[in-house]
Homo-oligomer: A and B are copies of this chain.
């Protein structure tokens, strides 16, 4: 019976993937749910999708809550649609258990495109399995890629290292800040500087914009020399000002990468992903090992001081 069940599951995945390749919106949504929850069907789905990927150009947008990322994404979608491009959007919300309401509010604005058949917008939150969003995101991007989107935009709330990593796992990464940025904590600046290919100062009609641009310029000047220096684009997402300049900056970075960097950049991502999958697989094994009856017996022996914790770990891993 398990074999039949597994065959039925493979058929279902095969059918879903075939429909994704036909750009069936329902199938895209359903397959993203599969990778979001990290179900048993995920590896089979990725295996079937993978040969059909590599077409889409991926752009990450990250920034603090309230920086205007979603409105900016919205403008970018409209701009890309005007050129006839097909656009997929992933709105990643690593903090959703805490800030769900506020961020879902932002999402609503993007629903302007909800009736446009050539725009697919999907939000993703933390999924159940080990490896988390950092592993689920590349798979979801592949689904949108295989479905024939020319662009995949990945929007994340840039509040921590993981979110920065997710946004950085794209071909061009946009870091969105606001006037006054940098007055507060310095903590995350280095991480953002490392991943940014384009800086956007959004809400550029507000006081302090010149100071923020000057601060960013200085930060970039002080950082190690690199082949691509991130341009700083000023936007007012609420009225669309600067959207053309932002797309030009993205295209300019894309042209730069076409000079050879894109292959290397994608290879680095593949390396990171393969490492993450290996680690997640081993972590699953660790969870299995620690779920055994032997685990509880060893805990009791450790507490009785008849074995030490390192020796107990060796006992568990021997059985494996």
Nearest CB in chain B: distance from A90 CB, A: 18
Q: Which chain B residues lie closer than 8 Å to A277 at the CB level? A: 309-310, 312-313
Q: Which residues of B contact A50 (CB under 8 A)?
A: 305, 308-309
A267's closest neighbor in chain B, by CB?
B303
A10 to B198, CA, bound (A): 54
Q: Judge if A289 is at the interface, Cβ distance under 8 Å.
A: yes
Number of identical protomers: 2
User: Does the CB pair A283–B274 fall under 8 Å?
Assistant: no
Q: Judging by beta carbons under 8 Å apart, are B290 and A278 in contact?
A: yes
Q: Which residues of B are found within 8 Å of A310, using beta-carbon distances?
A: 42-43, 46-47, 277
Instruction: Answer whether residue A51 sits at the interface, using C-beta atoms and an 8 A cutoff.
Output: yes
Is the CB of A162 closer than 8 A to any CB of chain B?
no
Q: How large is the interface on A (under 10, 10 to 19, 20 to 34, 35 or more residues)?
A: 35 or more
Q: What residues of chain B lie closer than 8 Å to A102, measured between beta carbons?
A: none
Q: Is A57 an interface residue (CB 8 A)?
A: no
A281 at the interface (CB under 8 A from B): yes
CA distance A22 to B307 in the complex (A): 22
Give the CA-CA distance A69 to B221 in the complex, in Å.
38
Subset of 8 A-B contacts with CB under 8 Å:
A51-B305, A270-B299, A274-B312, A274-B313, A274-B316, A277-B310, A278-B313, A278-B317
Question: Using a CB–CB distance below 8 Å, which chain A residues touch chain B?
Answer: 42-43, 46-47, 49-51, 53-54, 98, 138, 187, 263, 266-267, 270-271, 273-275, 277-279, 281-283, 285-286, 289-290, 295, 298-300, 302-303, 305, 308-313, 316-317
7 more contacts with CB within 8 A, not counting A266-B303, A270-B302, are: A42-B310, A98-B187, A271-B295, A277-B310, A278-B313, A279-B283, A282-B286
